[in-house]
Structure formats: structure tokens, C-alpha cells
């Protein structure tokens, strides 16, 4: 039982992080390697606001969320906007460079020590008993819940929302979309904002659950495997990919060797890349477009 | 044509580096320090260096030693082996230091040791795990003041577990997936056998793990009654927290890293023990007040209770320099270090003594602390227990 | 080195001149001066500066091989640190297990590089761009995992120590000796790369990078040349790793993090894509940059207080420089260099030469 709960929690973490990769890639064909850092930034912003608004956890969270959205938009407007139409490698490298810069700045501002935003907010994280004697921490449960919420609203937004439809159009054919009067830069900025928002929520919740330090970056990087396994341009793929990678990881820890948990996501990824490079739910033609 | 730029740009950069690196202190003891001031392991290795600096600044303010000031050349290696090697080379060949102090990740040891051997200058590990070479029979040039050390730590911990546990122990072991931690936990597993304890589960956890619950689940499913973790603090505490979240209520003992004191107070758990060789600030010894005072005056980035390692390093440095006299050189420094005996003023269980073939300490003392709900404070679970080092 | 005036009033008049290793007599002269300067450098340099120079040479070998692969053949690889690690571990394992001498371990490292190049290269037959980068990244993690397992299983928890290489009865420990060895290695790598680029292989790689389909219609065996690029590049990289192991006297997994890959990619970018000179410039720049930042910071007043933030400042500055180059100067240092060069060559006339505008 506990095993299933563990898989679901880990999958939820991966899925929440992975959808950020998908959102940006789907719209602008840019692989955002700074996603881990941006998520971490969100978590640190929460830590900062939590100490600032010591007795108003709600306003602290709200301000942190707003600031992280702003960070995403800023990254696009100031840097990524200039990279539109450049080589893939150049765009990827720019995001890597942004990541390095962010990591440096974060250490400069908050130092590399382990932080506990949960305490600063004045919350506790008791564990809840779910079915069959399995237990889950409140924050982990929140992560699962938030996943349902985020994916639900994203699906609805892309299907029915006015801007959602525009986003899909921009992703499918930027030229035609632009000719129909869709403001591509606004769409791209929106994608960056949404991606940073979901990433930051994931970062904040993981930080609340188990503390905050630089290792958040690597977690963000690991979530990149599920995004690719599912197919980089499919939200549903990210969800399924997260479930596959998380199961593989948890089962490897439990039945094979805990040491493997580090490599398992990448092994799954390699297997997928050799069999079906465009991922489970990805579009095949994507391959030639990169 | 192709290389002309390289010539000019290279020469320019070399010139800059040369100009800045040639600043020398004429009338002071020059001691070289390389360590992970920043970077992934800085939360462990940074504070000792700060502590040392604090101690040396205080010494200098009161006139120095043998009426000479001490100049610390501190270089950051960011826990990167190549940078550590370059730092060591620079300190040894350019600053001509008489002693090299290292506080960094274990992967930087090999290159720094190689440099120190080449230059024949003693190397002191401070706040970074003691390598086997400082145990008797010790390598001539390597010394170590750090509290933790492979082998003895596991022995002391398991002895405490054995003494405290009422019923037979089902032991769980937790390591981080770095060679050092794994090695020690493997040793603990071997040693537990000789003490008639059964190890029912051993978890080796990769450092960046999003969720520690899967590992904790395995420990819990194995019905462990005691868990021993000897790893960086992150792994020790996150595994513990994951276990508690799963509803596991038994005893957990972890190595008392510099974060331990504040963390015990944060977690407030009766059955979380930390074992270590440094006394915690809650003992309120005069020396603790002294450190806290110095921290307050100097505006240090780390809390006072993390300064202990660096302070001890400073005590040793002071004792050695007093013996060396003026002027200092590497040879004299080595002889002085070989017979150092430092009163640790209660920071450790006893004096720190080195001999010709023991550069670790002749006797290592361990103390165990835990949180006590009834008193709402940290209490001693076991007072200083000595282990002779042979 | 395409058709671009190398000096004012000099234009290549035939294919032979275009293929020549060194263009004009002036170039030969400058090259000689530069070589002399390099040879004389150890006489005046301090050991620390020698160490920096050695690091630059090592970086040059690695960045040249990456330039070959990414800058010319257009194959993105994020597995560079993994390959360097593989070379270093080959030396470490062979030395530890059977005390193999360097004339055995170096070729062995090269061989391992060839094998890994085949493995790293296989995905390139199917994948392009981003996906290729990811699959090489995955291989990086696997190499590091295996290295870590070896270290732990054999109990080398603080890294594998390697004795200096033996030349007859002398062991090479002196900084100057290393300087010349690494200089020779870097020069040899440069020569190999130059020759590869002016032969059929170089033309094939450039064609593949520009347009795969067109290259195929020109009769270029895409698969073979892609694999060749991976194999050659990996072999050189692995040998660089082996030299690194000997130079530092140790091997340890922590020395080959993902950040090392990023540094090498940065060398290629900062130096200037598709230029061997760029690879050299980039290697020197990225290697020396942190030291320069450090010196600059420590020269400021209150240096000791800043010391504890050095890493963060360095890290942030490195990211910033990379961003600046990518956004403002995609041609890299080479681009800047060429602009300055043509400015002076053509002074006082401001027009750019026909060929120079592009590169």
C-alpha cells in the first residue's frame, strides 16, 4: 500500500515539474533547462516572503506566487525574446546560462544552507493515514491535489480558454498564427509565466515538505526525463511519463538497489529514445522540427 | 595568425593574475587555507573556516603570537578537486605558506595531499573528515583536528546503541551515495556483526533525492528498532523526517554535524540522538560564551554554535606557532605539530594531543545528545566516553 | 579559414592556397613569434602561472574535440564530462589494477573513447538537436554512476591516486615538464583538427551541419561521417581525460560534474562556433575567467568579507557572461577578434571586405 502512495507522491512531484517543460516547449520549441532553477527561485521567494510577512502566511504565499510569475515573464521579455528564431543549441544554452546565473544569485542572497520555509510560515506538516495503513504527509497530499488542480485547469484552459486556443495555434504553426493577428510574443510570455508558476508551486510544496536547498535544481532536472518519456509536446504525456518514471524509480529502490534511483529515470529515458524518440504521446513530426 | 590573439589575451590575463598574486606580507606568519567556502558542501566546510578566521582575528587584535601577526591566505575551492589543486599550488609556491589547512569535500584530498608532499609542507585537515593517513602510524605531513573520523565513530555509536537498547537491536543503516559515507556504513555493518546486532536494512541514498519516503518505507518495513546514519546532515535528517512521517516511532542516531544543535531544537524529538566529539552550546561553558561574543562582534554569516571546529583549529594553530617561534618554516611547523597538546577548554572531552605517529589524537571522546520534551531542552544522553586511538 | 583576406591586399588565388596550413609569410612569422613566446613562458612564469597554463592546454584539447563535433559536424553533445571521466577512469583503473605504464594507458583511454564514441554516436543516426543532447546527457550519468561504483567497491573513497608517469627512470612531476608535454599535446590536437578540417572529412561535416538532406544528395555517407565525428572527438576527449588524470595525480567522480560539460560547451560558444581558433580562445577564457574574477574581487577593499561569496559571484558572473555572448555576440571571441582585425587591416577605409562580412 505504502508503495503505491510513494509512487503517486513521486509521480505528482515529477508531473508538476514536468508540465513546465511541456508548456514552453509546446508553444515555442525551446527546452527550458533553467526550469529547475526557476522552481527553486519560487521556493526561495516563498521563504523570503515567509520571513517578511511573519504572521500572514496567506499573503506570503500570494506575494511569492505573484513574484515567481513575474520572474518567468521577465526571463522571457529580457532574454528569451531575443533568442526567438536562433539555433536550438543557442536557445538551450541561454536557458542553461540563465540557470547558472540564478543559482549564483540565489546563493548570494540566501546562502547555500538548508532552509525551512514551513517553519517560517508557522505551519506544521503532520502525516495523514490513507487507505490500508499507508501514510502520506500533508504537504505531499497537497502536491497530489495541486496536480489534479493544475492539470485540470490547464486542460480546460487550452481547450476552452480564448488564450489557450491561441497558445495551441501558436504552437502548431507560428507563422499562420501570427498572420491571424495573434500576438506571438504575448503568447510566449504567457507560456513562460504559466511554466514558472507551475514550477514554482512544485518547488514551494517540495520545499515545505522536506526543506529547501540547492538540490532542488537536480530534482528539476530529473523531472525532465518524464517530460521526454511522455512526449515533449503533450501535457497528458507528461502526466503518464511521470507515473512511469516514478514507478520505475520507487520499484527499483524497493526491489533492486536504492543506488539505482539516480540512474533509473535516465535509463527509462534512453529506452524510450531508442524505441520511440518522440515519446509516448508526442507528435512524430516534431523530431524534424528541432 | 591563428594564435596571435591567444598570445596577447593570454599574456594579459597572466599579467593580471601575476600582479595580484604577488602581494606578500613581510612580517607575519603566512598560513594557507583552501576550502569549500562556497559551493555544494559549503554549509559543512564554510563555518570551520569562518571560525578559524574569527579566532585568528582575535589573536591579531591582541598582538599576535611572538609579537608577529598571523596572515591567513584563504582561497575558495568550491569543493572542486581541480580548483583545490590550483589553490594548493598557489599557496605553496607563491605565498610560501608554512602550513596548509584544508576544509573541503573528500574528493579534494588527493590533489592537495599530492601538492603538500611535493612542497614538503604540513597539511592540516580541519572541519573535513579525517583521512586514514592521520591514524597511527601517521603520514609525516598530514594532521587532522576534525571531530569526525571513520571507524571510531561507528564503534562509539554502536556501543552506545548496545548500551541503551533494552531488547535485541534490529539495526537500520543509512548512508549517502558518496564513497566516504558508504565506506563508513559498510564498516558499521561489519562491526555490528561482531557486536551481535543484526543489521536488517541498509539504505544508500543518492544526494539529490526529491522524496525520501521510498527509502524510509523500506527501513520501516524491515521493522528496524534503531537507525544509525553517518552521512552529510541533509541525508541524516531527511531520512529521519520521512521515517517519522510514516509513523515510525523508534530510535534514530545520527552523527552530530555542525547543524545538529539548531536542528535538534527544530525537530523536538525525544528519540533522535546525535553523537559527536564536540560539546554543544547548550552546555554554556565559558568558552562557548567567548565564541558567541566574538561572533556577535564580527558579524559572521553563520551562527555561533557552528564555529566550534574552526575555533579548535585556531587553538591548535596558536599552540603550534608558539612553539615554532620566528621566523617560521615548514620544517619547524611540522616538528611543532608533532608534539602539540591543546587544552580544548571543554569544546572536546579532553585535550587534543598529537605524537610522532599519531596525528589524529591519542584519545577520542564521544558524547550523545538528544531533545528532552519534559525539560523542553537538549540534554546529554551519554557523557564523554573515551576511546584510545592505537 | 574560408576565403577571407588574411592581410590587406592579399587574396587567395587558388585552391592550393585555400588548403594551405599557414597562409602568408606574415602569418608564418607571427606563428613563430607566438611559438617562441610559448616556449619562453616557463622561464619567467611562477609555478602557479604554469599550473594555469597547463589547465588551459588541457581545456584546449577538450574544447577542440568538442568544436569538431558541435561546431563543425553540428552534433550536439552534453556528454563531454562523461567522456573525460571515462578517459581518466581508464587510466585510474588500469594503473590501480595492473600498474600499467602510461604508454599503455593512454592508447587504452583512446580506445575506450572510440568505443564510447560509437555508443554516444549511435543515437545521432536517429535523433537530432535536442533529443541527441538529452541522450548524450543520459550517457554521462551512466558513466559517472559506473565510476562511482568502482571507487566505492574498491574502497577508494577519497579518489584514486595515480603515480606520475615514468619516462625511463625519471618520473614526470616538474611543472615545466608538464607544461611542455601538455603544450605538445594541445599543439598535436590542433594539428590533427586542422588537417581533418581541410580534408574530405571536414568538408563532409560542414555539409552535414548545413543541410543533411543536401549533403546526402551530394553523395556524403551521413551515418558514417556522423559516427566518425563522434569517434574522433570522443577519442581525443578521452585522451584529454587521461592526461588530466596523470597531471593531477588522481581520479574521482566528483571532478566530472555536469558543470564541466557546461563549461566545455561554454568554451565553444564563447570562443565562436565553427572556428578552431575560437575553441582555443574559449578554452583560455573559460579556464582563466574564475581566476580573473577572483583576483579582481580580492583587489577590492574588504576582500576577506567578499571571500565567502566568491563562488556565488563567480557562478553568477559566468552565467552572465554566457548570456551576454549568446545574446549579443553569437560569433563569440572570434567574432570580436575578426572585427578588430579587419578594422585595422582596412584602416582608414571603413568598408568591410566581401568575405569578411559573414564571418
pLDDT for the residue numbered B12:
46
Query: In angstroms, rounded to a whole number, what is the distance separating the alpha carbons of residues C121 and B360?
Result: 50
**For residues B134-152, average pLDDT:** 87
| B238 close to A (CB below 8 A) | yes
pLDDT at C56: 94
C210, three cell numbers: 548545413
The number of angstroms, rounded, from the C-alpha of A215 to the middle of its chain's C-alpha atoms is 15
Query: How many B×C Cβ pairs under 8 Å?
Result: 167
CB atoms within 10 A of CB C99: 9
Which residues from A are below 8 Å from B when comparing CB atoms? Answer: 2-3, 6, 9-10, 13-14, 107, 111-114, 116, 119, 125, 127, 129, 135, 137, 140, 206, 210-211, 213-215, 217-219, 222, 249-250, 253-254, 258-259, 261-262
- Write the burial class of residue A74 (CB in 10 Å: 0-12 exposed, 13-18 middle, 19+ buried): middle
Q: Are B105 and C254 in contact (CB under 8 A)?
A: yes
3-state helix, strand, coil split of chain B in percent (to 5) is 45, 25, 35
Is C130 in contact with A92 (Cβ distance < 8 A)? yes
Omega of the bond leading into B76 within 30 degrees of 0 (cis): no
Cα separation, B142 vs B385, in Å, equals: 26
Does the beta-carbon distance from C250 to B110 stay under 8 Å? yes
Per residue of chain C (359 residues), what is the pLDDT tens digit?
A: 444 544 555 566 666 666 666 667 777 888 888 889 888 888 888 888 888 899 999 999 999 999 999 888 888 888 899 999 999 999 999 998 888 888 899 999 999 999 999 988 887 777 777 778 878 888 888 888 888 888 878 877 677 888 888 776 777 777 788 899 999 999 999 999 999 988 888 889 988 888 888 888 888 888 899 899 999 999 999 999 999 999 888 888 878 888 899 899 889 888 888 888 999 999 999 999 988 888 888 777 766 666 667 777 888 898 899 888 888 888 888 888 888 877 777 776 665 555 544 44
* Cα–Cα dist A95/A75, whole Å: 9
Distance CA A42, CA A199 (A): 8
pLDDT digits (tens, 9 = 90+) for B173-220: 999 888 788 888 999 999 999 988 889 999 999 877 888 889 999 999
Strands laid side by side in the B28-35 sheet = B69-76, B28-35, B99-103, B123-125, B142-144
C126-143 CB burial, b ≥16 within 10 A, e <16: ebbbbbbbbbbbbbbbbb
The span from the CA of A243 to the CA of A236, in Å, is 11
pLDDT at C304: 61
Compare all CA atoms of chain B with the CA of C162 and give the residue at the minimum distance. Answer: B110
Residue A259 Cα, gap to closest chain C Cα (Å): 9
Spatial strand order in the sheet of B170-176: B198-205, B170-176, B226-229, B251-255, B272-276, B363-372, B377-388
The SS3 assignment for A37 reads helix
The phi, psi pair for A161, rounded to 5°, reads: -65, 145
pLDDT of A65: 93
**If you search the block for the grid coordinates 513530426, which residue do you land on?**
A285
Please list the residues that pair with B276 across neighbouring strands: B367
Identify whether the C-beta of residue C226 lies closer than 8 Å to the C-beta of residue C246: no
C174 vs B163, residue with greater confidence: B163
* CA atoms within a 13 Å half-sphere pointing along the CA-CB vector of C310: 31
Contact residues, C window 293-352, toward B, CB-based 8 Å cutoff: 294-296, 298-299, 304, 307-312, 314, 333, 337
Mean pLDDT throughout B311-318?
Answer: 93
pLDDT digits (tens, 9 = 90+) for B220-237: 989 999 999 999 888 999
Name every chain C residue with its beta carbon within 8 A of the beta carbon of B111: 248-250
Contact B214 A254 (CB under 8 A): yes
Q: Is A274 on the interface with C (CB under 8 A)?
A: yes
Distance CA B215, CA A250 (A): 9
Rounded CA gap, B332 and B330, in Å? 6
B302-325 mean pLDDT: 90
Q: Grid coordinates in use for C266?
A: 561554454
B246 touches chain C (CB under 8 A): no
Of C129, C130, C138, the CB nearest to A269: C138
Q: What is the CA radius of gyration of chain C?
A: 21
Q: What is the DSSP letter of B298?
A: H
Q: Cα separation of A233 and A228, whole Å?
A: 9
Q: Report the candidate in A280, A248, A240, A282 with the shortest Cα–Cα distance to residue A265.
A: A248
DSSP, res B130: B
The CA-to-CA distance between both ends of chain B, in Å, stands at 64
Q: Do A290 and C130 touch (CB under 8 A)?
A: yes
Instruction: Assess B234–A contact: CB distance below 8 Å, yes or no.
Output: yes
Q: Which residues of B touch A104 (CB under 8 A)?
A: none
Mean pLDDT, all residues of chain B: 86
- Residue range B142-165: average pLDDT? 89
Strands B363-372 and C166-167: unpaired
Q: Which residue of B has its CA nearest to C159?
A: B107
- The helix (run of H) or strand (run of E) holding residue B71 is strand B69-76
Cα separation, C200 vs C221, in Å, equals 12
* Chain A from 183 to 202: CB within 8 A of any C CB: none
- Do A112 and B247 lie within an 8 Å CB cutoff? no
Please report, for residues A90, B324, C70, C120, C137, the alpha-carbon distance to residue C132 in angstroms, rounded to integers and kept in the order given. 15, 60, 12, 9, 9
Contact A240, A230 (CB under 8 A): yes
State yes or no: pLDDT of B10 exceeds 50: no
pLDDT at C357: 43
User: Where does B242-345 show beta strands of DSSP type E?
Assistant: 251-255, 272-276, 341-342
DSSP H or E stretch at residue B73:
strand B69-76
Using DSSP, state whether B320 is helix, strand or coil: helix
Helix, strand, coil percentages in chain A from 3-state DSSP, rounded to 5: 80, 5, 20
Query: Closest partner residue to A79 among C133, C137, C327, by Cβ?
Result: C327
Q: Using the beta-carbon criterion (under 8 Å), do C326 and A98 form an inter-chain contact?
A: no
**Nearest CA to A121 among A62, A49, A69?**
A49
Measuring CA to CA, which residue among A77, A82, A74 is closest to residue A105?
A74
DSSP symbol at B355? B
Residue B79 burial class via C-beta count within 10 angstroms: exposed 0-12, middle 13-18, buried 19 and up = buried
d(CA B185, CA B176): 9
Which chain A residue lies closest to C329 (C-alpha atoms)? A90
Contact C312 B46 (CB under 8 A): no
Q: Report pLDDT for A74.
A: 93
**For the residues B112-131, what does the mean pLDDT come to?**
89
The reply to whether omega before B327 is within 30° of 0 (cis) is yes
Rounded CA separation B360/B355 (Å): 9
Contact B210 A213 (CB under 8 A): no
Determine whether the interchain pair B1/C23 forms a contact, defined as Cβ–Cβ distance below 8 Å.
yes
Angle made by CA atoms A46, A51, A52, in degrees to the nearest 5: 95
Taking CB atoms and an 8 Å cutoff, what residues of chain B touch A2? 217, 220-221, 246
Closest partner residue to A104 among C126, C141, C312, by Cβ?
C312
Rounded CA-CA distance C82/C238 in Å is 9
| Strand partners of residue C166 | C171
- Digit-coded pLDDT (tens) for B56-74: 999 999 888 888 889 888 8
Residues of chain A where predicted confidence (pLDDT) is lower than 70? 285-290
**Residue B179 to residues B360, C35, C158, C241, Cα–Cα distance (Å):** 21, 44, 7, 21
Nearest to A2 among B46, B209, B217 (CB): B217
Give the per-residue SS3 of chain C: CCCCCCECCECCCCHHHHHCCCCCHHHHHHHHHHHHHHHHHHHHCCHHHHHHHHHHHHHHHHHHHHHHHHHHCCCCCCCHHHHHHHHHHHHHHHHHHHCCCHHHHHHHHHHHHHHHHHHHHHHHHCCCHHHHHHHHHHHHHHHHHHHHHHHHHCCCCCCEECCCCEECCEECCCHHHHHHHHHHHHHHHHHHHHHHHHCHHHHHHHHHHHCHHHHHHCCCCHHHHHHHHHHHHHHHHHHHHHHHHHHHCEECHHHCCHHHHHHHHHHHHHHCCCCHHHHHHHHHHHHHHHHHHHHHHHHCCCHHHHHCCHHHHHHHHHHHHHHHHHHHCCCHHHHHHHHHHHHHHHCCCCCCCCCCCCC
Q: Which three cell numbers stand for residue B99?
A: 602550513
Residue C34 touches chain B, beta carbons under 8 Å: yes
Instruction: Sort out which chain B residues have CB atoms less than 8 A from A262's CB and list them.
Output: 177, 206
Beta-carbon separation of C161 and B114 below 8 A: yes
Virtual torsion, Cα B302, B303, B306, B307, nearest 10 deg: 80
With CA atoms as reference, report the closest residue to C274 among C339, C193, C341: C193
pTM comes to 0.83
Q: How far is A125 from chain C (nearest CA, A)?
A: 32
Instruction: Confirm if B340 and B134 have CB atoms less than 8 A apart.
Output: no
Of A135, A17, A23, residue with least CA distance to B208: A17
CB within 8 Å: A211 and B238: yes
Query: How many angstroms separate the CA atoms of A269 and A231, rounded?
Result: 11
CA distance B77 to B105: 9
A74 touches chain C (CB under 8 A): no
Question: Which chain A residue is nearest to residue C135, measuring alpha carbons?
Answer: A270
| Structure-derived torsion over alpha carbons of residues A154, A159, A162, A168, reported in degrees to the nearest 10 | 90
Residues constituting chain A = 290
Residue B181 forms contact with A (CB below 8 Å): no
pLDDT at A198: 94
Tell whether B25 lies on the interface with C, counting CB pairs under 8 A: no
B76: left (phi over 0), alpha (psi -120 to 50) or beta: beta
Amino acid at each position: 500500500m505504502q508503495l503505491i502512495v510513494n509512487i503517486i507522491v513521486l509521480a505528482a512531484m515529477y508531473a508538476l515539474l514536468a508540465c513546465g517543460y511541456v508548456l514552453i516547449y509546446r508553444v515555442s520549441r525551446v527546452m527550458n533547462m533553467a526550469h529547475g532553477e526557476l522552481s527553486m527561485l519560487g521556493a526561495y521567494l516563498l521563504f523570503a516572503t515567509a520571513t517578511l510577512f511573519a504572521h500572514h502566511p496567506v499573503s506570503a504565499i500570494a506575494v511569492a506566487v505573484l513574484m515567481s510569475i513575474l520572474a518567468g515573464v521577465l526571463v522571457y521579455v529580457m532574454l528569451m525574446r531575443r533568442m526567438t528564431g536562433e539555433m536550438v543549441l543557442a536557445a538551450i544554452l541561454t536557458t542553461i546560462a540563465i540557470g547558472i546565473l540564478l543559482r549564483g544569485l540565489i546563493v548570494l542572497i540566501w546562502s547555500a544552507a538548508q532552509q525551512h520555509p514551513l517553519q517560517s510560515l508557522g505551519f506544521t506538516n503532520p502525516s495523514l493515514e490513507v487507505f490500508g495503513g499507508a501514510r502520506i504527509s500533508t504537504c505531499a497530499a497537497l502536491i497530489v491535489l495541486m496536480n489534479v488542480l493544475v492539470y485540470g485547469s490547464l486542460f480546460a484552459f487550452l481547450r476552452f480558454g480564448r488564450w489557450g486556443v491561441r497558445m495551441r495555434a501558436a504552437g502548431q504553426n507560428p507563422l499562420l498564427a501570427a498572420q491571424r493577428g495573434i500576438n506571438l510574443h504575448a503568447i510566449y510570455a504567457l507560456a513562460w509565466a504559466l511554466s514558472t508558476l507551475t514550477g514554482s508551486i512544485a518547488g514551494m510544496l517540495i520545499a515545505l515538505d522536506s526543506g529547501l536547498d540547492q538540490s532542488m535544481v537536480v530534482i528539476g532536472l530529473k523531472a525532465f526525463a518524464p517530460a521526454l518519456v511522455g512526449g515533449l509536446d503533450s501535457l497528458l504525456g507528461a502526466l503518464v511519463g511521470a507515473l512511469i518514471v516514478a514507478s520505475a524509480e520507487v520499484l527499483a529502490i524497493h526491489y533492486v538497489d536504492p543506488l539505482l534511483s539516480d540512474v533509473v529515470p535516465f535509463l527509462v529515458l534512453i529506452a524510450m529514445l531508442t524505441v520511440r524518440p518522440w515519446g509516448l504521446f508526442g507528435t512524430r513530426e516534431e523530431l524534424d522540427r528541432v | 595568425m591563428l594564435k596571435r590573439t591567444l598570445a596577447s589575451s593570454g599574456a594579459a590575463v597572466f599579467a593580471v593574475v601575476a600582479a595580484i598574486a604577488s602581494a606578500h606580507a613581510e612580517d607575519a606568519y603566512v598560513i594557507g587555507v583552501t576550502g569549500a567556502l562556497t559551493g555544494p558542501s559549503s554549509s559543512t566546510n564554510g563555518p570551520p573556516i569562518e571560525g578559524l578566521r574569527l579566532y585568528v582575528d582575535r589573536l591579531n587584535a591582541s598582538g599576535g603570537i611572538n609579537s608577529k601577526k598571523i596572515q591567513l591566505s584563504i582561497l575558495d575551492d568550491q569543493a572542486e578537486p581541480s580548483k583545490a589543486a590550483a589553490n594548493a599550488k598557489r599557496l605553496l609556491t607563491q605565498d610560501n605558506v608554512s602550513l596548509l589547512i584544508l576544509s573541503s569535500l573528500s574528493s579534494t584530498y588527493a590533489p592537495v595531499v599530492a601538492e603538500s608532499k611535493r612542497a614538503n609542507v604540513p597539511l592540516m585537515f580541519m572541519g573535513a573528515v579525517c583521512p586514514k593517513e592521520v591514524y597511527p602510524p601517521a603520514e609525516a605531513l598530514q594532521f587532522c583536528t576534525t571531530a569526525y573520523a571513520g571507524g571510531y565513530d561507528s564503534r562509539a555509536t554502536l556501543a552506545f546503541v548496545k548500551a541503551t537498547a533494552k531488547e535485541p537491536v534490529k539495526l537500520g543503516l543509512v548512508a549517502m551515495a558518496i564513497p566516504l559515507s558508504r565506506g563508513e556504513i559498510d564498516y558499521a555493518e561489519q562491526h555490528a556483526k561482531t557486536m551481535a546486532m543484526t543489521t536488517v536494512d541498509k539504505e544508500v541514498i543518492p544526494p539529490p533525492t526529491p522524496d525520501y519516503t521510498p527509502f524510509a518505507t523500506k527501513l520501516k518495513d524491515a521493522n528496524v528498532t534503531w537507525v544509525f546514519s553517518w552521512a552529510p546532515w541533509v541525508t541524516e535528517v531527511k531520512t529521519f523526517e520521512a521515517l517519522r512521517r510514516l509513523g515510525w516511532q523508534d530510535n534514530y542516531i545520527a552523527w552530530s554535524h555542525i547543524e545538529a544543535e539548531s536542528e535538534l531544537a527544530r525537530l523536538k524529538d525525544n528519540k533522535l540522538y546525535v553523537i559527536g566529539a564536540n560539546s554543544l552550546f547548550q552546555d554554556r561553558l565559558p568558552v562557548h560564551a567567548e565564541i558567541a561574543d566574538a561572533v556577535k562582534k564580527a558579524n559572521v554569516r553563520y551562527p555561533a554554535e557552528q564555529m566550534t571546529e574552526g575555533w579548535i583549529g585556531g587553538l591548535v594553530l596558536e599552540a603550534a606557532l608558539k612553539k615554532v617561534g620566528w621566523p617560521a618554516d615548514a620544517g619547524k611547523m611540522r616538528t611543532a605539530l608533532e608534539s602539540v597538546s591543546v587544552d580544548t577548554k571543554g569544546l572536546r572531552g579532553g585535550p587534543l594531543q598529537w605524537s610522532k605517529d599519531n596525528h589524529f589524537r591519542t584519545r577520542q571522546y564521544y558524547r550523545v545528545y538528544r531533545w528532552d520534551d519534559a525539560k523542553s531542552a537538549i540534554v546529554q544522553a551519554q557523557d564523554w566516553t573515551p576511546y584510545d586511538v592505537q | 579559414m574560408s576565403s577571407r583576406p588574411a592581410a590587406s591586399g592579399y587574396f587567395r588565388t587558388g585552391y592550393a592556397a585555400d588548403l594551405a596550413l599557414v597562409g602568408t609569410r606574415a602569418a608564418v612569422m607571427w606563428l613563430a613569434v607566438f611559438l617562441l613566446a610559448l616556449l619562453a613562458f616557463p622561464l619567467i612564469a611562477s609555478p602557479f602561472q604554469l599550473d594555469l597554463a597547463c589547465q588551459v592546454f588541457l581545456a584546449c584539447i577538450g574544447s577542440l574535440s568538442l568544436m569538431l563535433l558541435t561546431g563543425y559536424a553540428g552534433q550536439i553533445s552534453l556528454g563531454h564530462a562523461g567522456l573525460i571521466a571515462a578517459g581518466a577512469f581508464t587510466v585510474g583503473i588500469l594503473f590501480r589494477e595492473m600498474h600499467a605504464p602510461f604508454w599503455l594507458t593512454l592508447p587504452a583511454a583512446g580506445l575506450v573513447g572510440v568505443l564510447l564514441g560509437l555508443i554516444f554516436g549511435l543515437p545521432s543516426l536517429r535523433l537530432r538537436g535536442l533529443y541527441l543532447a538529452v541522450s548524450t546527457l543520459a550517457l554521462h550519468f551512466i558513466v559517472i554512476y559506473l565510476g562511482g561504483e568502482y571507487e566505492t567497491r574498491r574502497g577508494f573513497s577519497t579518489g584514486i591516486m595515480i603515480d606520475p608517469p615514468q619516462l625511463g627512470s625519471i618520473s614526470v612531476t616538474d611543472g615545466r615538464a608538464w607544461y611542455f608535454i601538455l603544450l605538445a599535446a594541445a599543439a598535436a590536437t590542433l594539428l590533427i583538427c586542422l588537417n581533418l578540417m581541410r580534408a574530405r572529412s571536414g568538408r563532409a561535416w560542414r555539409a552535414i551541419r548545413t543541410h543533411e538532406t543536401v549533403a546526402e544528395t551530394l553523395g556524403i555517407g551521413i551515418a558514417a561521417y556522423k559516427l566518425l565525428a563522434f569517434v574522433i572527438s570522443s577519442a581525443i576527449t578521452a585522451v584529454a581525460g587521461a592526461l588530466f588524470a596523470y597531471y593531477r595525480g588522481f581520479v574521482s567522480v566528483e571532478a566530472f560534474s555536469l558543470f564541466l560539460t557546461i563549461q566545455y560547451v561554454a568554451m565553444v560558444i564563447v570562443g565562436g562556433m565553427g572556428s578552431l581558433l575560437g575553441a582555443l580562445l574559449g578554452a583560455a577564457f573559460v579556464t582563466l575567467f574564475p581566476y580573473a574574477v577572483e583576483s579582481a574581487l580580492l583587489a577590492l577593499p574588504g576582500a576577506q568579507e567578499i571571500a565567502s561569496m566568491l563562488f556565488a559571484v563567480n557562478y553568477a558572473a559566468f552565467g552572465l557572461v554566457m548570456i551576454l555572448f549568446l545574446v549579443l555576440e553569437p560569433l563569440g571571441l572570434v567574432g570580436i577578434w575578426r572585427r578588430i582585425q579587419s578594422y585595422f587591416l582596412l584602416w582608414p577605409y571603413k568598408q568591410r571586405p566581401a568575405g569578411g562580412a559573414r564571418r
